[in-house]
Chain A
Amino acid sequence: MTDVLERPHAASTPARVVAGLVRSREIAVLSVLVLLVVATTLKNHPFLLSSTGWRDLLLTPSLLLVLAVGQTVVIITRNVDLSVGSVLGLSAYFAGRLFIDHPGLPVPVVFAACMLFGAALGLVNGVLVAWGKVPALVITLGTLYIYRGVFLTWAGSNRINASDLPAGFLKLGTQQVLSIPVLTIIAAAVLAVVGYVLHTARSGRELYAIGSDPEAADLYGLKVGRRVIAAFVVSGALAGLAGVIYDARYGTVSSGAGANMELQAVGAAVIGGVAIFGGSGTVWGAAIGGFLLVTINRALPVVGISDFWQQAVVGALILAAIVLDRVLARRQDRRLVAARDS
């Protein structure tokens, strides 16, 4: 008996990669983004074809991009982190206080301190979710208000102004390397590191496994609690980082900093094809989704669409993404069943 294993789909590796790209959600969202930028630029050339246009196109999404990457790590595990907006605000104020209270503190130390601070807040979320066995939606809704409350009490009527911040730090907000803004480079670096870990490290793959079927993950002997906590810590640390980026970008921090950003982060992930029930999706998709979300908000006024419709378009985009997901998932289910029976 020749027990040669026949592969039902003996496609070569390059062909497989190409086929995967064509079907990939990331490419679809990227195409929409490119179309949007092209269309807006045709209507209004400086949108892209000017030095500030180009800079703002890359710079504005950097904040949401960092948040969306962190949010994706959490959503992949079948959880959600609604506290990131408040963590961002707290961290932005914390960074400001560091610069005011400890003049001369090196900028990288402030970055590190804020990420640690965010990580600690994320740890609280993670521990409550993993050990309290309470849905993350409820826990992080609670910490959303608690962290915001801490922020309001701490800051009082104080606010951080650009004049409080060192000039070298503020320069980060506008500086460009090879015409690419530094903050965008930071966001891209975060994206690359997290994306790489999720794709190639055991810990990253286990996050997908946990989100795909938490009970099976338990039976596999995966350390579910520890991994979920780690996901929240990553999300918190990135929200902390986003806080510093906020300071560098806007120069001022008032008590409203970061409000509602958590919903944008979730929206970015959903638009980018991250399944809200966990187990699938990539940070690349979420990043492109965030880019698209921010760019639409900037493009619609340029092409003369009213405020009301701007909000509605974002909502429609999220709904369209979910409908598309359902349709694609059903088609894929059929394809997979067919592949089995062939």
Chain B
Amino acid sequence: MNETFQSTASGAASGGPLLELEGVQKSFGAVRALRSGTLRVDAGSIHALVGENGAGKSTLVKIVAGVYRRDAGAVRFQGGDVDFRSTAESKAAGIAVIYQEPTLFPDLSVTENIFMGRQPVRSGRRIDRRAMVAEAESLFARLGVRLDPRRPARGLSIADQQLIEIAKAISLDASLLVMDEPTAALSGVEVERLFAVARSLRDEGRGLVFVSHRFDEIFALCDTVTVMRDGDYVSTEAIKDTTVDALVAKMVGREVGELFPKTPAVVGDVVLDVRGLESAGVFHDISFSVRAGEIVALAGLVGAGRSEIARAVFGVDTYDAGTVTLLGKRVAPHRPRAAIRAGMAFVPEDRRKQGLVTEESVARNIATVIRRGLARGGVLTTAAETRASGPWAARLEVKTSALDMQATTMSGGNQQKVVIAKWLATNPRLLIIDEPTRGIDVGTKAEVHRLLSDLAGQGIAILMISSELPEVLGMADRVLVVCEGRITGDITRADATPESVMRAATDRSGATTDAHEVVTA
């Protein structure tokens, strides 16, 4: 009896719906990032939003914030329909958002960063700097932050920047506060302070949305939780009615399909051997090896440090300690050219920016890496490029009527094949591929996967980074799970399940003490 009374009381403490989303859709080109975004946040409550990478959480947050405009569906805020066309509009309506990546002005002072656009003014609309600094100091006192409010934002750690973002959002005095993974870079004490502030905001009757991968924090802080998967709404329930296992099952619950034509390949000798790789604040004590014919997946959450590890192995980024050995020979750090010569190939995450010269022809793109070998007397002719790239394009079935077509006019899948072709022309022994099928439609995805499988069959060692769990489970012979800069799981194909990988990816034991050093991507 008493219990029933209490639960009714706590139910009454939270007000009516503050924010409601129904069937919100958003596509970027051919990719449907959000199919049925549905969310209901009550005033006076903290609502968790969970899902795998690519589940559509950040897209949903950005629609609420006015960064993106929805394609379809309804958004209601404080009872009225809204369609924010800009962040200014959502801000004016009373919504504050802390984005995943801090967005500060490095040249301006910490104080100006907090109050930009709404600085306190004196007569004559002069900015009252003294009042502004005083307000910043009282905000920092509330958050327990020790920062000189007058110093420029340049040079601050990610954690400090995130704290400034939080101070900024709180100072907006908004009725809805959305936090997209605010704790990723914070230490335990800072997280506690943030939570105390979040609870006091809730008790003032405001609504909060908390996007996070950390189940311990979700269960400690939130009242309700909404699960999303592949851009779809899955469920909403009270935190006290659910468990970590139930949430994980909902996040991943899906068949690992026949989309992934992985054929078993003969696994040969060790091709890549990484020992004790260390980069302060990014990753720690990374050791693993990849054998010929083996596909090893680096799995983990966005920002866990997977891409950074791959970039360090290839020599794009430098590292503080450790060794990278390819075919028994040390590869010098921070020397991509040496890595290519040693037999490495690297297909980066953002192929438009990093992998392709999009304005150039397909032939030239394929020939870029091997151009030195093609040149005759220092002169590189288009004919030579076309001759050299033809077989590769044919082999990868790049669907382009002619090799002189501009790369930018092709679909994402074909672009990706061009990038892979470019690297295969160097005869690599190790292929590092970051997000092989990001932004590629489902049909072409399978082709890229078949290609990777074929390459492994030919004895190439493949290190694949993927945020898509089905891809990881479908393609990899072995899954290395990275969490907050450490390898927290080495799972064989037989043992790899959505649950085991997600469990390792959110495992913070052993990483907690270093949590504040981890840099989000």
Contact = CB atoms under 8 A, between A and B. Distances in A.
Contacts of B152: 336
Contacts of A216: 103-105
Nearest to A334: B155
A4 B137 CA distance: 10
SS of A interface (majority): helix
Given A3-B141, A200-B127, A340-B160, A221 B87 contact: yes
B116 interface: yes
Nearest to B66: A221
Contacts of A332: 154
A106 B217 CA distance: 73
Contact of A221 (B86, B107, B144): B86
B127 A219 contact: no
Given A219-B87, A340-B155, A280 B146 contact: no
Contacts of B86: 221
Contacts of B119: 202, 205
Nearest to A200: B126
B105 A215 contact: no
A223 interface: yes
A117 to B, nearest CB: 28
B355 to A, nearest CB: 22
B116 A5 contact: no
A220 B108 contact: no
A5 B103 contact: no
A7 B105 CA distance: 22
A237 interface: no
A202 B117 contact: yes
B112 interface: yes
B264 interface: no
Interface in A201-243: 201-202, 205-206, 208-209, 211-213, 215-223
Interface in B107-165: 107-108, 112, 116-119, 121, 125-127, 137, 140-141, 144, 146-148, 150-152, 154-157, 160
Contacts of B151: 9, 336, 339
A173 B204 CA distance: 66
A303 B89 CA distance: 61
Contacts of B146: 5-6, 8
Contacts of B117: 202, 206, 209, 220-222
B499 to A, nearest CB: 36
Contacts of B89: 221
Given A279-B105, A280-B107, A340-B155, 8 more contacts: A202-B117, A208-B108, A212-B105, A219-B87, A219-B99, A332-B154, A336-B152, A336-B154
Interface of A: 3-9, 16, 200-202, 205-206, 208-209, 211-213, 215-223, 275, 279-280, 332-333, 336-337, 339-340
